[in-house]
Amino acid sequence: MSPAPTAAPSESALGIHNQLHHLGIILDGNRRWAAAHGASLHSAYRRGAQKFGELLTWCEQAGVPHVTAWAMSADNLRRPAAHTAPLMDAVLEGLRPITAAGRWRLRLIGELDLLPPQHRTELLDLVATTADARGGRANIALAYDGRLEILSALRGVLDGSTSHGVGDGARVAPDVLARHPQMAHRLPAEDSRNCGQSLENERRCSSPHFGES
């Protein structure tokens, strides 16, 4: 039997105020939770997925219309299949009741081609069912990579400006970008969540809150 949903924290406990329109959350700490509760890692993933559904309910109650959750980095997919398969299963298990409720419009972001094909297909099908949802919008980051996001944005800018002679974005590679004098020491690590690093702009423009859920 699944544990009963916990009561919604107060807005002050969540760090939520009336002016908050977009909440970002990094889903992490599964191994620590499993060790502390004597549970399997798969159980921890499932519990985390359930908590994300509860979080969306709390955001509805607090009037927060946009949520972005960083659920799984590209680095996670480099681990053995015995580790990644339960994680992907938990993501699907957590999203099914959210899509069935039809209150949130979901969008997947990240390097989706890196996901296992069978999981990617079901994820895309689930997200497609929320296209007409009238409530909030939730971005789910899967197989995300900070360097690739910056590179993709730069390529898009260059490709969109070829008529002005800027150049071909496809020629820009990660190592080329990293060597540029203006980008030196500014690119995030491949998985900034796991290494604990963050960009200075993120610290200045965000209001972080750390707590147990």
Active site amino acids: 28, 76
* One-letter-per-residue 3-state SS of 86-150: HHHHHHHHHHHHHHHHCCEEEEEECCHHHCCHHHHHHHHHHHHCCCCCCCEEEEEEEEECHHHHH
Contacts of 112 (CB under 8 A, 6+ apart): 120, 123, 124, 142, 143
| Strands of the sheet with 104-109, listed across from one edge | 22-26, 66-73, 136-144, 104-109
The CA-based diameter of the chain, rounded to the nearest angstrom, is 62
* Spatial contact of 18 and 64, defined as CB atoms under 8 Å apart: no
> Looking at residue 40, what DSSP letter applies?
-
CA separation for the pair 13, 9 (Å, rounded): 6
